[in-house]
Amino acid sequence: MEKGAAKVSKWCVLSMASIPLVMTLGNSMLIPVLPILEKKLGISPFQSSMVITSYSVAAVFLIPIAGYLSDRVGRKKVILPSLILALIGGLIAGFASWKMNEPYTWIIIGRILQGIGASGAMPIILPLVGDLYKDDDEKASSCLGTIETSNTFGKALSPILGSVLAAFLWFLPFFSISVFSLIAIAMVFFLIKEPKREEPVKFKEFLNNTKKTLKKEGKWLLTIFLLGFFTMLVLFSVLFFLSDILEKVHDIKGIKKGFVLAIPLSLLCVVSFVTGRKIKGNLPTMRKIIIVCLIIQAISVVFVGFVSKQLILLLVVTSILGVAMGALMPVLDAIITENTKKEERGTITSFYSASRFAGVAAGPPLMSVLMKNYLNAGYITAGVLAIIILFIVIKFIKVKEIEN
């Protein structure tokens, strides 16, 4: 197994890391641009949040299908067409914004296409890493840490890049997504060498095996799904809120706003990289990290609304929150990828990815409603939910049960 793992080149890892980077840029890059969209198109904050949500909702429903197909026909055969769809979606949204007087509907259509593309690209990377490294949990954890770091780096880079591009032309971020997708297509096609696949089991047998897995290990798997959903829900709610509050309360706009948004996200990125390198497939360590991160999230998220008018405190609180999330994400990736069977890995990890996308989809519209009258109540509720999830983790994530 060690020999098989050694054959994975740095270029292959870089190519895999390019996909979450592109998909994250495809969504997060638009967050600082949403207030501009509202002015240019004459739409409400809730309507602008749909630009993010439409992308994620499309992905949520199609990710399990993409995961199943990747188990059956191969990872690259699902990833490449998906990246092409993401490219086309960016062109549709970009040309509509450029040439049409009322482009909102076509922007949403383009974003849905991008979401369909995202469903068959980013989530398939997790099982692909598991395939490449087989039973070498330490190297798999390290690679998954790199993949998650690429994801979080995209989140840190996206507000700056989105603001810079929008400063030239407000619709330029849509076109840039297509350019990034084209680069990822070339890298995946030429640089990723997928392991030879075994003959897939018949659909009925596959379905029965998946049902058995969910029945036997459903408690800890569902807990990981819940953690993925909750983390992304809080992250994108806070990002949407920050993008709005920086302009309306602190009068920070354009490129400057992009750099300010990047402060907590950069910490999230750095911590994600370090955690991915340190965990080395060690389940007891990963369980402890989850518990500590949930405690930090529960405490810090409560204060976001209360300090929103004090910029320095707001950045301190959101940065602490970012650190907790940055440590949590590679841990969740590693637990679910390293502890599922190869023939079911694409399907099981796709449920996890779908839960994350569901959190992304729910965050912005939920925050657009809460910001009006229930801001502090919303963040306090998030803190309480983090404590509840903490008890669920303690009860259902048992190291010996997962290892067995």
Q: Kindly indicate the confidence band of residue 149, based on its pLDDT and cuts at 50, 70 and 90.
A: confident
Is 128 inside any structural domain? Answer: yes
Q: Average pLDDT for residues 4-9, to the nearest whole number? A: 62
**Taking a C-beta distance cutoff of 8 angstroms, is the pair 64, 351 a contact?**
yes
Percent of the chain with pLDDT over 70: 96
Q: Average pLDDT for residues 51-75, to the nearest whole number? A: 86
Is 321 inside any structural domain? Answer: yes
CA distance linking residue 236 with residue 294, whole number of Å: 17
Residue 50 in this model has a pLDDT that exceeds 50? yes
**Taking a C-beta distance cutoff of 8 angstroms, is the pair 130, 76 a contact?**
no
Q: Kindly indicate the confidence band of residue 218, based on its pLDDT and cuts at 50, 70 and 90.
A: confident
Is 363 inside any structural domain? Answer: yes
Is 261 inside any structural domain? Answer: yes
Residue 99 in this model has a pLDDT that exceeds 90? yes
| Residue 204, Cβ density class (10 Å: 0-12 exposed, 13-18 middle, ≥19 buried) | exposed
Q: Which amino acid is at 259?
A: F
The structure tokens 């459903």 sit at 218
Q: Kindly indicate the confidence band of residue 216, based on its pLDDT and cuts at 50, 70 and 90.
A: confident
Q: Kindly indicate the confidence band of residue 4, based on its pLDDT and cuts at 50, 70 and 90.
A: very low
CA distance linking residue 141 with residue 280, whole number of Å: 5
Q: Kindly indicate the confidence band of residue 200, based on its pLDDT and cuts at 50, 70 and 90.
A: low
Is 175 inside any structural domain? Answer: yes
CA distance linking residue 66 with residue 79, whole number of Å: 9
pLDDT (0 to 100) of residue 172: 93
Residue 85 in this model has a pLDDT that exceeds 90? yes
Is 3 inside any structural domain? Answer: no
Report, in angstroms and rounded to the nearest whole number, the Rg of the chain calculated over CA atoms: 20
Is 1 inside any structural domain? Answer: no
Q: Which amino acid is at 196?
A: K
CATH code of 336's domain: 1.20.1250.20
- What is the H or E stretch that residue 335 is in? helix 311-338
CA distance linking residue 148 with residue 400, whole number of Å: 26
Residue 242 in this model has a pLDDT that exceeds 90? yes
Is 390 inside any structural domain? Answer: yes
Higher pLDDT, 132 or 294: 294
Ranking 117-121, 138-142, 182-186, 315-319 by mean pLDDT, the lowest is 138-142
Q: Averaging pLDDT over each range in 223-232, 328-337, 347-356, which range is the top one?
A: 223-232
Domain total in the chain: 1
pLDDT (0 to 100) of residue 2: 39
Q: Kindly indicate the confidence band of residue 6, based on its pLDDT and cuts at 50, 70 and 90.
A: very low
Which residues span the domain enclosing 242?
9-403
pLDDT (0 to 100) of residue 201: 62
pLDDT (0 to 100) of residue 326: 93
Residue 30 in this model has a pLDDT that exceeds 50? yes
pLDDT (0 to 100) of residue 195: 80
Q: Kindly indicate the confidence band of residue 323, based on its pLDDT and cuts at 50, 70 and 90.
A: very high
**Taking a C-beta distance cutoff of 8 angstroms, is the pair 59, 354 a contact?**
yes
Q: Average pLDDT for residues 308-324, to the nearest whole number? A: 96
Q: Average pLDDT for residues 9-22, to the nearest whole number? A: 89
